[in-house]
Structure 1
Amino acid sequence: MKELITDLQNAQVGRVAENEPMAKHTTWKIGGPADVFIEPDGVDGLVETMNLIQKHQVPWRAVGRGSNLLVDDAGIEGAVIKLGQNISHLEIEDDIIRVGGGYSFIKLATIISKKGLSGLEFAGGIPGTVGGAVFMNAGAHGSDMSDILIEARVLYPDGSLAWVKNEDMDFSYRTSILQKQQGICVEARLQMQQGDKSSIVEEMQKHKSYRRQTQPWNYPCAGSVFRNPLPEHAGALIEKSGLKGYRIGGAQISELHGNFIVNVDNAKAQDVLAIISHVQEAIKKRYDIDMRTEVELVKRQA
């Protein structure tokens, strides 16, 4: 690992840190240290980072704002690559957007709505980055990324960059091909529609207000913990099971929304994992439904 760190620093790829606490980089404010933490200073730095990681055969993963991530208290083995402000360019040409993978999804939705472009109203309250939204096929209110993505530029482990068209992204509910084969969404081209600015802004504000009223963003959290086992909804099943307010350690199922687990008092990953297991067992016993997590659980290998 030392050799990788030295090579990364010599190559001046961007910020490089050893044993960086992941609690600093997740919206849950939970997570032990990453062996190596890299925040590349641009696409070239990102490509060089990947080349060096492959040279040293170090396991890796990419993160954005960490809004959909539960990192184990023991931390993350290998390298963590963060796509941040240095990979957050934005170009708007008529109704086509080209945007960096590190760009804030909420900020993008706000800017686009004020330009009278429709298509991102659903994203008004979704935390995270554009790259993360593509990875998860993020969505709400009946829309998701698969509806607007033209193509995504993906960095592969061998250091190659390629544009992947929508039809090749293998999109489904909260899923894309990037969850099945390793790759980083470096940027995306999105198709918008011209519309009435006031109506678009009003629609997005309505979604934002709904989220503020129904979701507990006053505590560190990661958004929805479980995927909806359609046609059922995870939050409703949890609430009907009387689990609102259920607490282990510093983590608690929100009193406001059953599908949110909040960090109320310096929660550990093991607290959240224990609640997740309890919910899965309770819902399986009561409804014979398997509850799959929407958040990604990252454990250090033994």
Structure 2
Amino acid sequence: MKEIIEELQDAQIGKVKESEPLSKHTTWKIGGPADVLVEPAGIEEMKKTMEIIQKHNVPWRAIGRGSNLLVDDKGIEGVVIKLGENISHLEIGDGEIRVGGGYSIIKLATIISKKGLSGLEFAGGIPGTVGGAVFMNAGAHGSDMNKILIKAHVLYPDGTMKWIAKEDMGFSYRTSRLQKEKGICLEAVLEIKEGNKDEIVSEMQKNKDYRRNTQPWKDPCAGSVFRNPLPDHAGKLIEEAGLKGYRIGGAQISEMHGNFIVNIDNAQAADVLALIDHVKTTIKEKNNVEMHTEVEIVKR
């Protein structure tokens, strides 16, 4: 990895860190080291980073705030590209906003609501970035990114960039075409509309309060672990199976919400994986329902 590190540094693309613990970059506070962690200084630097990665033919992946990610204790091989504050521009126009993929979606929802602009009330408690939300078609409270996205600016592994309209994003439940194509959402243009500021702020605060009162965000976690096996709900099935509070090592199924696993005592990825397997086995036996993870599991 020495050659690629030197080339990334020489290209002055931004921060380049070797053997960086990913526990510092995930909301679960879990994860071994990345061989290389890169935080590009902007969109052009993102493109240059990808070109260098492809030239050296090394594995790579992109992350935002690491809020939907379980990283193996052995870490991640190759290069991890982090979209952070350097790609977090915001332009508010007439009926739409243009926002960087590294922008915190909670922060964005808060700013927009205070300006009396509607469309992001559902996102007030989603702890990720705009890019990650587009990638996952993140949603809550009956809405999701599919409802507000106009188009996304995407970087592909071959270094090309293009804008993709919402109609071509292949959105479905917690899914977009970017997951298959390994596309990175650099920017998004989102539809907004003017509304009653007090009503918008009140709605978003209600959503935030609901999350605060029902979900364990005070502990390191990654949001919902399992996709809802519709028409059932994962949390309900887990709770009815008596698994709330079930613990393996430093990881525990939350006492507040069955679909959350919290890091209560320096948990390892192995602890979380064991809990996930235990839930899958239990629900299959009790309900004959296959449980699938919503969080992405990354193994070396």
TM over 0.5: yes
1:88 maps to a residue whose letter is: S
Question: Counterpart of 1:201?
Answer: 201
Question: Counterpart of 2:270?
Answer: 270
Q: Residue 115 of structure 1: CA displacement?
A: 1.0
Aligned pairs for 1:1-302 (under 5 A) are 1-300=1-300
Q: Residue 282 of structure 1: CA displacement?
A: 0.3
Q: Residue 254 of structure 1: CA displacement?
A: 0.3
Q: Secondary structure at the match of 2:30?
A: coil
Q: Residue 236 of structure 1: CA displacement?
A: 0.3
**Aligned equivalents of 2:20, 2:234: Cα separation in 1:** 33
Q: Secondary structure at the match of 1:47?
A: helix
1:9 maps to a residue whose letter is: Q
Q: Residue 157 of structure 1: CA displacement?
A: 1.0
1:266 maps to a residue whose letter is: N
**Aligned equivalents of 2:89, 2:124: Cα separation in 1:** 19
2:57 maps to a residue whose letter is: Q
> RMSD of the alignment, in Å?
0.5
With structure 2 as the length reference, what TM-score do the two structures score? 0.99
**Aligned equivalents of 2:22, 2:157: Cα separation in 1:** 22
1:232 maps to a residue whose letter is: D
Q: Residue 159 of structure 1: CA displacement?
A: 1.0
Q: Residue 135 of structure 1: CA displacement?
A: 0.4
**Aligned equivalents of 1:122, 1:187: Cα separation in 2:** 20
Total equivalences in the alignment: 300
Q: Residue 44 of structure 1: CA displacement?
A: 1.2
Q: Residue 94 of structure 1: CA displacement?
A: 1.8
1:29 maps to a residue whose letter is: K
**Aligned equivalents of 1:273, 1:227: Cα separation in 2:** 16
Q: Residue 111 of structure 1: CA displacement?
A: 0.5
Q: Deviations over 1:205-224 (max 9, x none)?
A: 00000000000011100000
**Aligned equivalents of 2:118, 2:91: Cα separation in 1:** 16
**Aligned equivalents of 1:114, 1:286: Cα separation in 2:** 46
Q: Residue 148 of structure 1: CA displacement?
A: 0.3
**Aligned equivalents of 1:233, 1:288: Cα separation in 2:** 14
**Aligned equivalents of 2:112, 2:17: Cα separation in 1:** 35
Which runs of no fewer than 5 residues in structure 1 stay unpaired?
none
Q: Residue 146 of structure 1: CA displacement?
A: 0.2
**Aligned equivalents of 2:270, 2:153: Cα separation in 1:** 35
Q: Deviations over 1:236-256 (max 9, x none)?
A: 000000000000000000000
Q: Deviations over 1:252-291 (max 9, x none)?
A: 0000000000000000000000000000000001101010
Please list every run of at least 4 consecutive aligned residues from structure 1 whose deviation after the TM superposition is greater than 3 angstroms. none
Q: Secondary structure at the match of 1:180?
A: helix
Q: Percent identical across equivalent pairs? A: 73
1:217 maps to a residue whose letter is: W
Q: Deviations over 1:24-82 (max 9, x none)?
A: 00000000000110000111111110000000001100000000000000000110000
**Aligned equivalents of 1:178, 1:296: Cα separation in 2:** 14
